[in-house]
């Protein structure tokens, strides 16, 4: 769990982008597949503060200058890998996973285009989970040491990093409440509404979207069995709250789903 103040002195900067993963990344010699320019990226308005000037963006271009592709099912980084960079998802989506000692997998989160990965490594200097691509994806590589230096100059970037870390705290506390106090029906409704809100913020349809994760992965994240997830989807369809066709989900009654 990251704290917005722990390990984040005044010099702390901030910034994130988008990505596509390929193999675990443990240092800045990781695969560099083409030049990335924040100043010309279509995701810029999602990934970075709007206050940045053309001169500020030029400075960012010197820090965030490489991307990486990750095939579906491949790992961007693994638990225990040394922390060097954070990653902005430019294309695609990921899940973060913690492995139990008995080999069971626990999904701790799903990340979509425009969101960041790797902040878990700031605290201890190494990652505490695996980041696995749910589909062919691309990520922008952001070397954290260089970002720190840049943030000394760009206060909006520093504030942006604080916001990113704060959002991690909010997300994890929300997950604890979801698992500890909500019924199975409420958990799935909250999950779908959260995804809808995140897609909307990124300019996608909040009402109809594809679920890149499996029903089993959703259950693993929500603390539910696969059969329970399937039963809840069927109930929502019967109540005309959602229409699910394979991986495509259409929220037909968002107010009704919120009342759940």
pLDDT tens-digit series, residues 7-62: 333 333 333 333 333 333 334 334 445 566 787 777 777 778 888 888 888 888 88
Looking at residue 53, its pLDDT comes to 83
Residues facing 27 on adjacent strands: none
pLDDT band at 164 (very low <50, low <70, confident <90, very high): confident
Looking at residue 30, its pLDDT comes to 43
Count of alpha carbons within 13 Å of 201, Cβ hemisphere only?
12
Q: By the 8 A CB rule, do 66 and 34 touch?
A: yes
Distance between CA atoms of residues 251 and 78, nearest Å: 34
Structural domains of the chain, with CATH = 38-174 (2.60.120.10), 182-259 (1.10.10.10)
Looking at residue 81, its pLDDT comes to 96
Mean pLDDT over residues 59-74, rounded? 89
Looking at residue 35, its pLDDT comes to 64
Shortest CA distance to 41 belongs to which of 59, 15, 61? 61
Looking at residue 7, its pLDDT comes to 37
Q: From the CB of residue 208, how many other CB atoms can be counted at a distance below 10 Å?
A: 15
Which strand ranges, in their side-by-side order, compose the sheet holding 105-112?
75-77, 130-133, 93-99, 105-112
Looking at residue 100, its pLDDT comes to 83
Cα separation of the two ends of the chain? 29
Mean pLDDT over residues 101-123, rounded? 90
Q: Which residue has the higher pLDDT, 30 or 228?
A: 228
Mean pLDDT over residues 121-144, rounded? 94
User: What mean pLDDT is reported for the chain?
Assistant: 83
Mean pLDDT over residues 217-223, rounded? 94
* Three state DSSP letters for 61-126: HHHCCEEEEECCCCEEECCCCECCEEEEEEECEEEEEEECCCCCEEEEEEEECCCEECHHHCCCCE
Looking at residue 201, its pLDDT comes to 85
Looking at residue 21, its pLDDT comes to 33
Q: What's the pTM?
A: 0.81
pLDDT in tens, 236-248: 999 999 999 889 9
């Amino acid at each position: 769990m990251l704290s917005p103040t722990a390990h984040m002195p005044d010099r702390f900067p901030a910034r994130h982008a988008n990505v596509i993963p390929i193999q675990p990344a443990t240092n800045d010699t990781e695969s560099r597949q083409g030049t990335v320019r924040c100043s010309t990226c279509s995701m810029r308005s999602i990934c970075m503060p709007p206050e940045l000037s053309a001169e500020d963006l030029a400075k960012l271009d010197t820090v965030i200058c490489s991307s990486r592709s990750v095939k579906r099912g491949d790992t961007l980084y693994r638990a225990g890998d040394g922390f060097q960079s954070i990653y902005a998802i430019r294309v695609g989506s990921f899940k973060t996973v913690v492995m139990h000692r008995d080999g069971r997998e626990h999904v701790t989160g799903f990340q979509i285009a425009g969101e960041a990965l790797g902040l878990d490594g700031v605290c201890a200097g190494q990652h505490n989970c695996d980041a696995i691509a749910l589909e062919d994806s691309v990520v922008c590589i952001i070397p954290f040491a260089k970002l720190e230096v840049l943030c000394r100059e760009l206060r909006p970037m520093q504030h942006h990093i604080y916001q990113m870390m704060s959002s991690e705290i909010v997300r994890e506390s929300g997950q604890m409440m979801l698992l500890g106090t909500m019924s199975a029906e409420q958990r799935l409704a909250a999950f779908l509404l959260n995804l809808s809100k995140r897609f909307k913020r990124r300019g996608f349809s909040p009402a109809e979207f594809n679920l890149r994760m499996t029903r089993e992965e959703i259950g693993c994240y929500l603390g539910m069995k696969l059969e329970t997830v399937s039963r809840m989807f069927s109930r929502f369809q019967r109540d005309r709250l959602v229409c699910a066709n394979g991986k495509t989900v259409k929220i037909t009654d968002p107010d009704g789903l919120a009342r759940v």
